[in-house]
Amino acid sequence: MRTARFPAQGQSEAEVESGLRLMRARDRDAFAGIRFARRFHAGDDIAELAARTCALFAGAGRASHYPGLPALPSMARIQADLEAWSLELVRAPAGAVALLTSGGTESAILALREAWIARRKALPPGSVGEVIAAATAHPCIDKAAELLGLRLIRVPARPDHRADPAAMAAATGPATVMLYASAPAYANGLCDDVPAIATIARAHGVRLHVDGSMGALLAPFQRMNGDEVPDFDLSVPGVASISGDWHKHGYAAKGAAVLVLRDGPATPFAYAEHPLPPMITDTLAGTAPGAPLASAWAVATRLGAAGYCALAAALGETRTAFAAAIARVPGFAVLGDPRFSLMLVTSNRHDMAAVHAAMARSGWFTLLSHAPAGLHLNLNPGDAALAADFARDLQSAARTAA
Ligand SMILES: *Cc1c(COP(=O)(O)O)cnc(C)c1O
């Protein structure tokens, strides 16, 4: 890419817009023919609704933190609704609070900050606070620990590739600030045994945060459909906080997520000595965009529980179709019993790096997992019809890789 000089003269609106339209057309070309390139896609109509809503709320900020300046009434309503809906969906008890964030990473940072504030005075003098997570936990917890100056201890997963509650218990000590569990883990799509880890957290008096980026806003609708889904939300005693991403299985525009804390209120960031009136925020950003939240509100209102249930059912059919098609290809298997949208395809026979490369040449976007070696699939509700093609290409990839 060439280095651009800052534009000396402005261009006409028409020039700016036609230039951008051309860039967007090239975006589409770059992705054309790559299957699985679209993540968290609930149909073009929903994506377009989210985009139009963002345009409608372009420039709208979230509720004001300036004394005397009211929140936009629209954003106040949207935020209050999203908070209430999030609390309901993760089965939060009275007293819980929802913080609207920009994504799973911000939610993890804020959850760890709350745990750190609650625990820091009780830590042994001179010790560095510790967070305990399984090897399969999303790297956002590494980022959170680094930012807060804490040490992340990753413990190996069990042979079934889920977090090992006994190993997490063994790693818990006087400097432990928080335990971290995933529902499901991004690495392999499998759900940790949250009730078992919550029991350990309670026994040691430390907080447990559940990373529900992938599952928290999907499981409620799977349950309504009668699917068997493990319990991992605030209905489990000992879970202190849970994250959920409206921009994943809520199908909102990017930048909409939530952190729910069992024991509210959140500890705000506040600095009272500033020459201006205290600026009080409870999430990371100062100026925070309202548009992604408005898109989450619009999509949720458009779909309702019935719409999300239909999408969850379609996702279940997709998962079943892929699992069945993969099981018919000799030498491959799906890892464990995935219940959400992620799955890992492993092999006891084939070099998965070579299979991954061959699948990429056939136009499949998957991530290559190293432990265990496998292809990481992120399925969309409408993908069931791709399963047969996928299995056929997997079979020929195996021949190439042999
Ligand atoms: C996506 C994801 C995250 C990070 O969320 P961002 O919205 O990308 O910041 C964390 N954990 C899991 C399980 C995820 O899938």
pLDDT digits over 201-213, tens only?
999 999 999 999 9
Query: pLDDT for 235-265, tens place per residue?
Result: 999 999 999 999 999 999 999 999 999 999 9
Q: Look over the chain and give the mean of its residue pLDDT values, rounded to a whole number.
A: 96
Residue 22 falls inside a structural domain: no
Residue 2 has pLDDT above 90, yes or no: no
pTM, rounded to two decimals: 0.96
Specify burial of residue 159 (Cβ count, 10 A radius: 0-12, 13-18, 19+): exposed
Domain's final residue, options 300, 323, 349: 300
For atom 13 of ligand 1, which residue has the closest CA?
186
Q: Say if residues 132 and 270 touch (Cβ distance below 8 Å).
A: no
Residue 20 falls inside a structural domain: no
Q: What is the CATH number of the domain that holds 356?
A: 3.90.1150.10
Residues with CB under 6 A from ligand 1: 103-105, 138, 140, 182, 186, 211, 213-214, 245, 257
| 179-185 average pLDDT score | 98
Confidence of residue 278 (pLDDT cuts 50, 70, 90): confident
Most ligand 1 atoms within 8 A of CB, residue of 39, 100, 136, 140 to mutate: 140
Q: Are residues 278 and 327 in the same domain?
A: no
Q: Say if residues 200 and 171 touch (Cβ distance below 8 Å).
A: no
Q: Say if residues 20 and 350 touch (Cβ distance below 8 Å).
A: no
Residue 1 falls inside a structural domain: no
| 322-350 average pLDDT score | 97
Distance 186 CA to ligand 1 centre (A): 8
Q: What is the CATH number of the domain that holds 294?
A: 3.40.640.10
For atom 3 of ligand 1, which residue has the closest CA?
104
Residue 187 falls inside a structural domain: yes
Q: Are residues 295 and 311 in the same domain?
A: no
Q: Can you tell me the distance from the alpha carbon of 184 to that of 189, in angstroms, rounded to the nearest whole number?
A: 5
Q: Are residues 258 and 313 in the same domain?
A: no
Distance 19 CA to ligand 1 centre (A): 32
Task: State residue 277's pLDDT score.
Answer: 84
| 344-353 average pLDDT score | 97
Task: State residue 375's pLDDT score.
Answer: 98
Most ligand 1 atoms within 8 A of CB, residue of 100, 101, 106, 138 to mutate: 138
Task: State residue 396's pLDDT score.
Answer: 97
Number of domains in the chain: 2
| 216-237 average pLDDT score | 98
Q: Are residues 193 and 210 in the same domain?
A: yes
Residues 6+ apart with CB under 8 A from 315: 218, 340, 341, 379, 380, 381
Distance 75 CA to ligand 1 centre (A): 25
For atom 14 of ligand 1, which residue has the closest CA?
213
Query: pLDDT for 84-124, tens place per residue?
Result: 999 999 999 999 999 999 999 999 999 999 999 999 999 99
Q: Are residues 285 and 341 in the same domain?
A: no
Residue 31 has pLDDT above 70, yes or no: yes
Residue 1 has pLDDT above 80, yes or no: no
Residue 6 falls inside a structural domain: no
93: preceding bond cis by omega (within 30 degrees): no
Q: Say if residues 332 and 394 touch (Cβ distance below 8 Å).
A: yes
Q: Are residues 267 and 395 in the same domain?
A: no
265: preceding bond cis by omega (within 30 degrees): yes
For atom 12 of ligand 1, which residue has the closest CA?
213
Q: Are residues 249 and 315 in the same domain?
A: no
Distance 105 CA to ligand 1 centre (A): 6
Domain's final residue, options 239, 265, 300: 300
More confident residue, 62 or 83: 83
Task: State residue 37's pLDDT score.
Answer: 87
For atom 10 of ligand 1, which residue has the closest CA?
104
| 259-277 average pLDDT score | 92
Q: Are residues 219 and 266 in the same domain?
A: yes
Most ligand 1 atoms within 8 A of CB, residue of 100, 101, 105, 248 to mutate: 105
Task: State residue 70's pLDDT score.
Answer: 84
Residue 357 has pLDDT above 80, yes or no: yes
From the CA of 182, give the closest atom in ligand 1: 13
Most ligand 1 atoms within 8 A of CB, residue of 245, 246, 342, 344 to mutate: 245
From the CA of 212, give the closest atom in ligand 1: 13
Residue 386 falls inside a structural domain: yes
Q: Are residues 217 and 107 in the same domain?
A: yes
Domain's final residue, options 300, 322, 351: 300
Q: Can you tell me the distance from the alpha carbon of 250 to that of 300, in angstroms, rounded to the nearest whole number?
A: 7
Q: Are residues 326 and 227 in the same domain?
A: no
For 395, the domain range is 305-401
Q: How do strand 373-378 and strand 176-182 relate by DSSP bridges?
A: unpaired
